[in-house]
């Protein structure tokens, strides 16, 4: 897939699969080619429902209707040029100082596709925050509701700045 196809595919919400949740009671973590950790969790249906309720509360705190988000056809999609801009730009001051960073970013996007806020959800230097928010907070294709009409939503991603 092209970069743009990957971004578009990521904007499609995954459907909840009740049969899978009812049958799931363990998880296997593969940490490397020869490292595996098996976790016996018990039935996951109720914990996953509680997790969804927690996410709904989080959406409400952001001013977003959880029901609309749950039934959306698509999340906002940043223009591919915005993504390329962030990938190309490493703040010169941070290069000079040899500083790397990881940023978890949430951008609120209105029904017209305009970014209304950019929040870096973890501690990071202001220079990195400004670079990411300036690069990504451009025009988006808006989220689409269940009927395919534009709606407010959010775009969430992570950005890693690493020097070799």
pLDDT of residue 6: 77
Q: Residue 99 is encoded by which pair of tokens?
A: 């500083």
pLDDT tens figures, 52-103: 999 999 999 999 899 999 899 999 999 888 888 888 888 998 889 999 999 9
**According to CATH, where is 3.30.2420.10 located in the chain?**
77-161
Q: Taking Cα atoms as reference points, which of 125, 124, 121 lies closest to residue 93?
A: 125
pLDDT of residue 55: 92
Task: Please list the residues that pair with 108 across neighbouring strands.
Answer: 117, 154
pLDDT of residue 50: 93
pLDDT tens figures, 111-140: 999 998 999 988 888 888 888 888 887 789
**Half-sphere exposure at residue 101, Cβ-oriented, CA atoms within 13 angstroms:** 25
Residue with tokens 């010169």: 92
Residue 155 near residue 106 (C-beta atoms within 8 A): yes
CATH assignment of 77-161? Answer: 3.30.2420.10
Q: How confident is the model at residue 44 (pLDDT cuts 50, 70, 90)?
A: confident
Residue 128 near residue 161 (C-beta atoms within 8 A): yes
């Amino acid at each position: 897939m092209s970069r743009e196809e990957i971004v578009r595919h990521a904007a499609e919400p995954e459907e909840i699969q009740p049969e899978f949740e009812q049958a799931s009671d363990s998880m296997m973590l593969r940490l490397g080619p020869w490292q595996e950790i098996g976790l016996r969790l018990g039935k996951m249906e109720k914990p996953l429902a509680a997790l969804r309720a927690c996410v709904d509360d989080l959406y409400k705190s952001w001013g977003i209707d959880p029901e609309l988000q749950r039934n959306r056809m698509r999340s906002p999609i940043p223009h591919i040029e915005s993504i390329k801009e962030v990938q190309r730009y490493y703040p010169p001051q941070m290069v000079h100082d040899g500083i790397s960073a990881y940023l978890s970013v949430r951008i609120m996007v209105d029904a017209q596709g305009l970014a209304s806020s950019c929040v870096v959800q973890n501690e990071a230097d202001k220079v990195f925050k400004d670079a990411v928010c300036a690069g990504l907070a451009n025009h988006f294709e808006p989220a689409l509701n269940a009927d395919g009409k534009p709606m407010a939503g959010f775009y969430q991603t992570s950005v890693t700045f690493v020097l070799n």
